[in-house]
Amino acid sequence: MQAVSRARLFAVVAAVGIMPAGMAPAEDAFQSFKQMDSTAKMPKLNAFTPTVGRQAPVAREVTLNAKLTADGQPMQTGLTWRVFSPQPGPDGKLPLVASSEGGGAHFQLTPGAYFVNVAFGRAGVTKRLDVPSDGEFVPQALVLDAGGFVLNAVAGTDQRIPDSKLRFSIYSAEVREDGERGLVMANVKPNTIVRLNAGTYHVVSEYGEVNASVRADIQVEAGKLTEATLQHRAAQITLKLVSQAGGEAVADTAWSVLTAGGDVVAESLSAFTTMVLAEGDYTAVARNKDKIYQREFPVQSGHNADVEVLMKDQQPVAGVDSD
């Protein structure tokens, strides 16, 4: 009789089940979810043998589509879909159940709860999806509330800047407690369509590699593509050390460029050197063999120029070691 009671007690414990220690709820696991690269592939599914006498649940067809705005039309291309199980795996992350790319998506899912994420470039939205075991299941629509912008820049009033010398970084508009902004995208090329969730973004444009940069806050509106052109107050300068005006550049010359306040902003070693500088007054210092030469010059926004330093202008330069 005692053995029977123990057997019944064991059956009750097995039926109730105990959650393993350390297993995080689905909501906690989803907080650590990060959008994966669009090249991610579905994990392999291990074969299994259904329990004898138990009928496997019948998968249902699930149709999903996405819109840029609530009243917009379903998008036909450019989307990346991912479906996750709400139950964390052994690593604490939500397992990927299915994925798709293109426009609308069609999945075969067994009844239950899922998390669905759809991404359009850097824009994305996540929604909980409940698949019923019976009854009508209508197509599900997710609203991205997204738009985008195309960035470009000019020097001066309208001087075109070569794409190779121009790059953009996109930050969130909000400033964090440490005084920094969250980086959204870096090294964005001009004339590139950037897809983002609607909102305000802080854009930094860098022209060249020295000190020419401008900033602007740009608004992204849902369902719209904004073209933004930033204006740099800078120019491209070519420095040459010559024996006479209009002469050939002297080889093996080391260059330093100083601001009006004496700060070094650029250095190079070349017969002639080209750089982009922000508008202002500068001093070019050229060192060739054991001699040092210098010349003050201005930079005017949008006016590219050659600056010649004459060898006859040899003189000691304060703050520069000539040894």
Residues 238-248 have pLDDT tens digits of 999 999 999 99
Q: What is the pLDDT of residue 272?
A: 85
Question: Is the predicted pLDDT of residue 206 greater than 80, yes or no?
Answer: yes
Of residues 11 and 191, more confidence is placed in 191
What's this model's pTM, rounded to 2 decimal places? 0.74
Residue 312: band (very low, low, confident or very high) from pLDDT cuts 50, 70, 90: confident
**Of 232-246, 252-266, 301-315, the least confident:** 301-315
In the beta sheet, which residues pair with residue 155? 159, 232
31-84 tens-digit pLDDT: 443 343 444 444 443 444 444 556 667 899 999 999 999 999 999 999 999 999
Q: What is the pLDDT of residue 290?
A: 87
Question: Is the predicted pLDDT of residue 127 greater than 70, yes or no?
Answer: yes
CB 242 within 8 A of CB 249: yes
79-84, strands of its sheet edge to edge? 96-102, 79-84, 112-120, 123-131
- As a residue count, the chain comes to 323
CB 294 within 8 A of CB 284: yes
Looking at the chain, the number of H-run helices and the number of E-run strands are 2, 22
- 114 contacts: CB under 8 Å, gap ≥ 6: 83, 84, 85, 86, 97, 128, 129, 130, 131
Q: How many whole angstroms separate alpha carbon 137 and alpha carbon 263?
A: 68
